[in-house]
Structure 1
Amino acid sequence: MNAAPVNAIQINATPIRVTRTPWQTALAMLLVSAGALAFASAPSPALAQTGAGPLQLAQNEANLPEKSPEQKAAEKKLETKKGDLEAKLDKERDDFLKSKEGKVAREKFDKKRKEIEKKKAAVKKEKDEFENDPEARSCCNPGYKEGVLRYYDGMIRKFDEEIAKEKRKIADDEMKKRDKKRAAAADKIREEIKKVEAELKRLRDMPPLPPPGLSQGGYPDGDGVVALAMLPG
Structure 2
Amino acid sequence: MTAIASTITTPTLRAIDRVNPVAKLAAALVLAAVLVLTIDWVSAAVALGCELVLFLFVGLSPRIFFSRTALVWIAAPATGLTTLLYGKAAGAEYWSFGLIQITDGSIGLAIATTLRVLAIGLPAVVLFITVDPTDLADGLAQVVRLPARFVLGGLAGLRLVGLFIEDWRALELARRARGIADGHVLRRLAGQAFALLVLSIRRGSKLATAMEARGFGAPTPRTWARPSPFGLREWALIALGLGIALLAAGVSIATGSWNFVLA
Q: TM-score, normalised by structure 2?
A: 0.29
Tell me which structure has the larger Cα radius of gyration: 1
